[in-house]
Amino acid sequence: MTIQRVLVVDDEPLGREFLSEAVESLGYTAVSARDAAAAMMLAEREQPDVVITDLRMPEVDGIELTRRLRERWPDMPVMLCTAHATLESAVEALKHGARDFLMKPCSIDAIQFALARLDRELRMTQENRYLRDEVRGPEPDSIVAESSAMRDLLRAAARVSRSKGTVLITGESGAGKECIAQFIHAASPRNEQPFIRVNCAALSEQLLESELFGHERGAFTGADRQRLGRFELADGGTLLLDELGEISPAMQAKLLRVLQEDEFERVGGQKTLKVDVRVIAATNRDLAREVAAGRFREDLYYRLHVLPLHVAPLRDRTDDILPLSRRFAEMHARRNGVAVPDFSVDARERLVAWGWPGNVRELENVVQRAVILSSTSSIELDDLLFGPASNNEPTGSHGRLSMDDPVFQEAIANQPMDIVERIAILATLQRTGGNKTEAARRLGLTARTLANKMRIWRATGLVA
């Protein structure tokens, strides 16, 4: 569900109470305000997913409130509720950005229908934004490269971008392999064509085969229609196979055929399809060692190892730490609607000194938490919450923080549950080196639930 928190605005206590109780009864969280001034303050503090406001209110009416809300938060949907609707007022409200119009007295069914419809629209918008991001790589100059290691890597990536040869990008989890793949696509002659990503470790063998090659209707239980695979979607462009070292021997054989012959069949299909796809593979495994151990096909390894690139860990390119920190601070400040903070001298020194076992992904998580938790215009040393230096396990009894721990209480106090949940999941992923299965086990979630949350957060821009 995209909508979780609803702000109700009505100057009449009975109307405000009814709408709030109706929203709560439908499974949403409701917060309420009696006028526009209080609504603006609550919207700043609570960041609701949707606002339902009365039209006729003293001093500032619902249309003016809609205009102010949309001016401050352009993506925040507003629904107007009134007993005095006219065609003119409806047009005026829509002109100022209202998403819907409810007539008083509002039934719970009408509110449920309106919120469900808006939820579908928002989800579709998020999915479209996600798909646009999937096929669009960054600008070639969008990667931070202050260190000599990154500058050398980008020069090598620019050279290989001009060819069609398969690229193998290696490096630790969170070091930025996907960013380099996007850079190669953006700098290549294929940059107007799709850039498609697949996380090979997140899918079972059957699902991965269907994801890569597509399937015909009736190919297996639940295949109620034909589906195009990622190779077809990437035709003419670039396909990133992330965490390739995790795929099974059977999938390795099928992938080898596509790389050699540029052809495949959909699951359950007979027709051979030809594609023109530039493949980039990324892995944190030592594939040469995997070949020696018999876990990875030697012929596939050499087919992938045409143009190898290695992304150095963040601890080996400390010149990039502060520029990356500033970029992440700007990005997450915008996403959370707060002023862009600076970093104190002590905070900057600590950022550079930390070993960053989780690499760039860990740095972003640390900065994101600091932006959210900081109560001043500057990120101080106390705002930086690092993982233990000696291991990747959380501290405290049985590997968990104590509820009585003042650091723990300070970190989560007054934070909405969705933010606390996101911080817990991102921190656990950091400590497991990006291993989603292990992170899900520690958190008491299913791997699918965790993967779905990450997909939604990426689609909405809450995580990179």
* 190/320 same-domain check: no
Domain-embedded: residue 125: yes
Query: Measured at the alpha carbon of residue 462, what is the angle toward residues 325 and 128, in degrees to the nearest 5?
Result: 130
* 176/253 same-domain check: yes
- Within 13 Å, how many C-alpha atoms sit on residue 212's CB side? 32
- Alpha-carbon distance of 174 to 357, in angstroms, equals 9
Domain containing 341 — which CATH number? 1.10.8.60
Residue 138 near residue 178 (C-beta atoms within 8 A): no
- Show the DSSP H helices in 136-279 as ranges: 148-161, 177-186, 205-213, 230-233, 249-261
Give the pLDDT confidence score for residue 460 in this predicted structure: 63
Domain count for the chain, please give it: 3
Q: Is the dihedral of CA 139, 142, 148, 149 positive or negative?
A: negative
* 440/347 same-domain check: yes
Burial of 451 (0-12, 13-18, 19+ CB in 10 A): middle
Using alpha carbons, select from 153, 170, 268 the residue that is nearest to residue 221. 268
- Alpha-carbon distance of 257 to 176, in angstroms, equals 28
Burial of 45 (0-12, 13-18, 19+ CB in 10 A): exposed
Domain containing 119 — which CATH number? 3.40.50.2300
pLDDT in tens, the chain (464 residues): 468 889 999 988 988 899 999 989 988 889 999 999 998 998 888 888 899 988 888 888 888 888 888 888 888 889 888 776 555 666 666 776 788 878 777 888 888 888 888 888 877 776 555 555 544 444 444 588 899 999 999 999 999 998 889 999 999 988 999 999 999 999 999 988 899 999 888 888 888 888 899 998 888 877 778 888 899 989 999 999 999 998 999 999 999 999 999 899 999 988 889 999 999 999 999 999 999 999 999 999 999 999 999 999 999 999 999 999 999 999 888 888 888 899 999 999 999 988 898 899 899 999 998 998 887 788 998 888 876 433 333 333 334 444 555 545 555 565 667 677 877 788 788 778 788 887 888 887 887 788 888 887 776 656 65
* 246/308 same-domain check: yes
Give the pLDDT confidence score for residue 407 in this predicted structure: 46
* 99/165 same-domain check: no
Domain containing 161 — which CATH number? 3.40.50.300
What one-character DSSP code corresponds to residue 171? -
Residue whose entry in the numeric block shows the structure tokens 């509110």: 111
- Alpha-carbon distance of 127 to 8, in angstroms, equals 27
Give the pLDDT confidence score for residue 394 in this predicted structure: 36
Domain-embedded: residue 142: no
Task: Tell me which amino acid residue 154 is.
Answer: L
Domain boundary among 288, 312, 336: 312
Domain boundary among 267, 285, 312: 312
Give the pLDDT confidence score for residue 124 in this predicted structure: 72
Cβ-based neighbours of 412, under 8 Å, separated by 6 or more: 420, 423
E strand or H helix at 167: strand 167-170
* 188/109 same-domain check: no
* 322/426 same-domain check: yes
* 238/278 same-domain check: yes
* 180/297 same-domain check: yes
Q: Which range of residues forms the domain containing residue 100?
A: 5-133
* 227/163 same-domain check: yes
Domain boundary among 312, 346, 367: 312
* 303/356 same-domain check: no
Give the pLDDT confidence score for residue 8 in this predicted structure: 92
Domain-embedded: residue 139: no
Domain-embedded: residue 295: yes
- Alpha-carbon distance of 31 to 449, in angstroms, equals 27
* 320/294 same-domain check: no
Cβ-based neighbours of 4, under 8 Å, separated by 6 or more: 28, 29, 49, 418
- Alpha-carbon distance of 244 to 170, in angstroms, equals 10
Using alpha carbons, select from 311, 433, 296, 299 the residue that is nearest to residue 362. 433
